[in-house]
Structure 1
């Protein structure tokens, strides 16, 4: 009874299953499970020698039939141990196995941020921005997994990021893929090779789609790319339905669309008067909320281990009853060194006084007390604050009724 009530969680049992498999496969490094970050960490001679984030693996494990889970654990083990396979030092031997991937910017930036607060050397993972929320990066394609390509490997090969991305895109274009068309309004790529999201980089193919308006694309996960026309409300509604259906899929990327304009992808939402704006806005906030929650959990785990006294403020979303408008806010508290997320509004709190002492939109706050913000230059954005606005500044900030009411 007590073992059942107080035994290890499902996540802990999953981590232990994976550790056992990795050890059986011959891994000699010490492996420790870090519950707060949901990571496996590998150590060699007392030094950290690798990290495996388990969120996506666990989500995928839970989503498949129990009869398939044993094989999934075997595949995951082979993927985690693929680092043993050497990437060719001669670029000519490697070039045919280079592919591009598209991911949320949080994919790399959380690794950089963790390294920064742990005091480690800067993590140099080259990538190209796609709008504000996505990135494209070159990877080395292995049978069981993909290997990130860092700046050191680029230097060894003697190629630039631009050159490598062009080669990676050509390799992707040369591979077979499937495009489905729904009602001559929506194009869906779902080849199941983990590179469908990256096919948004094949601009010439995207431009061949018969669309009303500019191409608008969304990559809910690695194995899905949805493209419709910016002026096609029916197609946009179909896109929203597919985003909703894929919201629980493992290995998510982003529910925030991009628009192809002058040959470049840019972050896109319809204007506020558009009938579908509220649904797109809701998915935008859901995506950012998930990324901020994952970032917050990582930072809190690092700060606890490293003894860093910084409060990680929460990204909070609310829906106004009278208008159904979704607003986001964070709280800046007196005498609390904090990392603020970038939100629509900021509330100012003083433990010695009831309620909020001020509230303002982010833009107004930045115009009045922007000198108190230290931009960490990460994604999703975080700003370090160690001082609180003066009484004069609080008076200028005032109380914004859109968030205070």
Structure 2
């Protein structure tokens, strides 16, 4: 027993990558495995065709008890040996499943490949679902949930819609109601089979919970579907607080929204205060995570291509009244990519790098009155490229915010 095992501490990123690699080798993996410290990922094979991001695995490993950590390693290392996708739709249809994922996930997959090479990205089958979530298709096996790409659908000769219809039938067959009541009138899914959030696609399951004519739901993480009634204010507040707790504990955030059913489809439900404030905090946390993960990949891509541009961070601040405010920073003379935030801090430095002044501005006013923020065409969450830093004559016309 080593010191690490004795004290059950968190491993370093490099140590964890070694643990994952060693586990994969014991399971028979013979392909080259390379650890990318900057992206915190493992790249498998000589063609870099498979990349496993380690963030979720690392978080699960650190949260697991000592006796459960080997199982976490085994579970994630199994994903390093992705199953061969069946050559035909007929052979694949029994394993097709719908999955709801963060809207940022397809962009992470695109940037992960782009950070390493200029090969054409093989996009996955993605359908819009909500403001911050997408609907994808997956092939389910014993050890992995493998997203399906458009090239596979072309090979099978089927459309996304045809594949989705089969996937929904498969999901329905696995969906005998399984919920636990965790607070008065608040129920949480208990399938624990990687498809809890997907049940939001099956309105009849939620309606059978007898929550009233207008149930509301949340899918904060991949493992949780929460439901209550829109006529239960205390239940909605409890649901929002539960969503925050699950996001903190589990990671793998999917959506920070509340949903209701309209004509058989889940659509966004906008609650009043104080629930809306709880959702703003959850949304801000999700955005911060998405922006931070993509920042590393963008910086790696920019370094590879020799592009001199600063990727600004998405910062979350809490006001004295506990409300949440988001902020990004733009420094004069620095070409930047800004995340969309509530406010932008304009920073001016002298020739020695010492601070001259700072001006806090509402995002919308800065964008509307200066035309200095240009939305990039691709990607989610949105990023804006800065153009000319507003001169003093323009800055003097803008409404500064005192924090």
Greater shift in the superposed pair: 85-94 or 387-396 = 387-396
Structure 1 residues 27, 324: closer, same or farther in 2, change over 3 A? closer
Query: CA offset at residue 182 of structure 1?
Result: 4.9
What's 2:266 paired with?
265
Question: Which residues in structure 2 correspond to 1:159-178 (within 5 Å)?
Answer: 159-177=158-176, 178=178
- Alignment of 1:221 onto 2:221: yes
In structure 2, what is the Cα distance between the partners aligned to 1:259 and 1:75?
A: 32
Report the 3-state secondary structure (helix = DSSP H, G, I; strand = E; otherwise coil) of the residue aligned with 1:355: strand
What's 2:20 paired with?
18
Superposed CA offset, 1:81-110 (max 9, x none): 1x2x32222211111110011111122212
Superposed CA offset, 1:231-290 (max 9, x none): 32121122133224323333522461232242333344423xx23333222222222222
Structure 1 residues 71, 281: closer, same or farther in 2, change over 3 A? closer
Query: CA offset at residue 392 of structure 1?
Result: 4.4
Query: CA offset at residue 77 of structure 1?
Result: 2.2
What's 1:347 paired with?
345
RMSD, aligned α-carbons: 2.5
What's 2:362 paired with?
361
Query: CA offset at residue 345 of structure 1?
Result: 1.3
In structure 1, what is the Cα distance between the partners aligned to 2:375 and 2:257?
A: 29
Question: Which residues in structure 2 correspond to 1:104-253 (within 5 Å)?
Answer: 104-116=102-114, 118-177=117-176, 178-182=178-182, 185-211=185-211, 214-253=214-253
Aligned residue pairs, count: 389
TM-score, length of structure 2 as denominator length = 0.88
Superposed CA offset, 1:155-209 (max 9, x none): 1112111221221111101114412345662222121111001111112322344
Question: Which residues in structure 2 correspond to 1:308-319 (within 5 Å)?
Answer: 308-319=307-318
Query: CA offset at residue 306 of structure 1?
Result: 4.4
In structure 2, what is the Cα distance between the partners aligned to 1:306 and 1:158?
A: 37
In structure 2, what is the Cα distance between the partners aligned to 1:309 and 1:268?
A: 42
Q: 2:32 is matched with which residue: 14, 19, 30?
A: 30
What's 1:71 paired with?
71
TM-score, length of structure 1 as denominator length = 0.87
In structure 1, what is the Cα distance between the partners aligned to 2:105 and 2:56?
A: 11
What's 1:330 paired with?
328
Report the 3-state secondary structure (helix = DSSP H, G, I; strand = E; otherwise coil) of the residue aligned with 1:224: coil
Superposed CA offset, 1:134-154 (max 9, x none): 111110001111111000011
Q: Contact 1:187/1:228 (CA < 8 Å) preserved in 2?
A: yes
Structure 1 residues 73, 266: closer, same or farther in 2, change over 3 A? same
Structure 1 residues 343, 268: closer, same or farther in 2, change over 3 A? farther
